[in-house]
Amino acid sequence: MTICDYIKGCHMIIRWSKRLLTIIFFLYITGIVCLNFKPLTLTTHPVLLKSLILGQNKGYILPGSEFEIFRPYLPRNGRFSVIFDEPFAQNKSIQHRLWNAQNYLCPLILNHDPAEELALVLCSDESSASKRLNATHYTWLKQINPGAGIARKQV
């Protein structure tokens, strides 16, 4: 046996060892994945999920549905400013409320700056609405609830 034959034999053993280690590694990983596999669990109640999928809306509250009271008084499209108790940038919950309103009242475009001719007023009570209307130079056009309604920019 020559040195070349010995090296070829070692090379063949190393090649088969690598293949064997690769197979063992992938079997080990497959075992870990299979042993730790957890079935998908349903996180919502089946009745709610079924009604949501079928569009029946039983028990599921759409984000922004509190803005439904404005729909009869609004055109199909256009731009509106939105006036809250506080200016828009001061409160993160106001941002979420504006996003919910924008989502629900789509295709209307809601602007958080008081720059449009018409504005939705979404204040907690009538006194804060009056203060914000005076500060932003709007007057009531249609008051739907105390602190909520549609206002027009003063000229």
Q: Considering the domain boundaries, does residue 48 fall inside one?
A: no
Q: What is the pLDDT of residue 29?
A: 92
In terms of phi and psi (left: phi > 0; alpha: psi -120 to 50; beta: otherwise), the region of 9 is: alpha
CB 146 within 8 A of CB 111: no
Domain that holds residue 149: 65-153
* pLDDT tens by residue, 91-113: 777 888 888 888 888 888 888 88
Query: Does residue 125 sit in helix, strand or coil?
Result: coil
Q: Which of 13-17, 76-80, 93-97 has the highest mean pLDDT?
A: 76-80
Residue 71 lies in a domain: yes
Comparing 49 with 22, the larger pLDDT belongs to 22
73 pLDDT exceeds 80?
yes
Structure confidence at residue 13 (pLDDT): 78
Looking at the structure of the chain, the number of domains it has is 1
Q: Is residue 136 part of a domain?
A: yes
Q: Is residue 32 part of a domain?
A: no
Instruction: Give a yes or no: residue 31 inside a domain.
Output: no
